[in-house]
């Protein structure tokens, strides 16, 4: 009897379903107006195990599926964002999924907003200012052109996972791309006010510190040529990331905050 009760309880827990409603929005504020120090480079988000939230077949194979507009309970919040000058809503999504742990709960890949791929490469450089990037031999900027194969570059992109570990949890990694301006190194030139010198021809001085004194080495370095960078101010697509994990309870509405974007999420237990 105890074994049967345990099996029934386990089956009941496995049968739980949740409706997950998410609103994603950006703040209408320039990054420079905040007090944050934004990193110049970010690690690449890994999408190997993520599924497209719009792929019905993939969603179904993970025990999930998108729901229609009739299942959206946060319309008032979405409309408030839409009518406010300080915000721009980018997505309003709702889907249903089962009661799964972190290992098996679906990781959803979301792409929303404007597509910048016709204006920028995916490393942020302007296509108009650097028309030869990605073509053989034409680029004046040394860069790995293998990164330029993704056909889309959405304004908001990332992944969302909701899972159960005694409590409900949400984990997000979302990138917001904002056009800006940046000083770009486009080349370099050798200064002409000093003779060419290298460690092998700097007036016969060997720069190996084990063979010469520091004074002698410094004297030889004075004859090295000065390299001057050539820079331009170009349009640039900068990426800002929201990386958060939050514990929740079903039925509660949560707000995940960021200086440039935000998420409103509500998880409702079905039935």
Query: Does the pLDDT of residue 217 top 60, yes or no?
Result: no
Q: Taking 80 as the threshold, does the pLDDT of residue 203 lie above it?
A: no
| Per-residue confidence band for 146, with pLDDT thresholds at 50, 70 and 90 | very low
86-119 tens-digit pLDDT: 999 999 999 999 999 999 999 999 999 999 999 9
| pLDDT in the model for residue 231 | 80
Name the maximum alpha-carbon separation found in the chain.
94
Q: Where are the domains of the chain?
A: 17-180+237-269
Token pair recorded at residue 177: 């791309």
Asked whether the beta carbons of 65 and 108 are under 8 A apart, the reply is: no
Task: Spell out a b/e string for 228-253, using b for 16 or more CB atoms within 10 Å of the CB, else e.
Answer: eeeeeebbbbbbbbbeeeeebebeee
Q: What global pTM score does this model have? A: 0.75
């Amino acid at each position: 009897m105890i074994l049967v009760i345990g099996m029934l309880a386990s089956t009941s827990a496995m049968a739980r379903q949740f409706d997950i409603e998410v609103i994603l929005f950006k703040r209408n504020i320039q990054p420079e107006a905040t007090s944050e120090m934004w990193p110049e480079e970010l690690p690449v988000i890994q999408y190997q195990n993520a599924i497209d939230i719009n792929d019905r077949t993939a969603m179904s194979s993970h025990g999930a599926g998108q729901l229609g507009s009739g299942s959206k309970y946060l319309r008032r919040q979405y409309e408030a964002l839409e009518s406010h000058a300080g915000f721009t809503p980018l997505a309003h999504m709702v889907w249903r999924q089962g009661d799964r742990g972190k290992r098996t709960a679906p990781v959803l890949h979301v792409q929303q907003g404007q597509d910048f791929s016709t204006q920028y490469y995916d490393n942020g450089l302007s296509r108009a200012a650097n028309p030869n990037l990605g073509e053989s031999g034409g680029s004046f900027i040394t860069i790995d052109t293998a990164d330029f194969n993704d056909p889309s570059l959405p304004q908001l992109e990332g992944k969302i996972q909701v899972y159960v570990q005694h409590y409900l949890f949400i984990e997000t990694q979302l990138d917001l791309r904002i056009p800006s301006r940046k000083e770009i190194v486009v080349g370099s030139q050798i200064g002409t006010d000093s003779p060419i010198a290298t460690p092998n021809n700097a007036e016969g001085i060997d720069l190996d510190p084990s063979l010469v004194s520091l004074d002698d080495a410094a004297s030889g370095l004075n004859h090295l040529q000065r390299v001057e960078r050539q820079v331009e101010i170009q349009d640039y697509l900068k990426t800002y990331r929201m990386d958060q994990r939050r514990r929740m309870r079903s039925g509660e509405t949560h707000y995940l905050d960021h200086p440039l974007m935000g998420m409103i999420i509500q998880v409702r237990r079905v039935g």
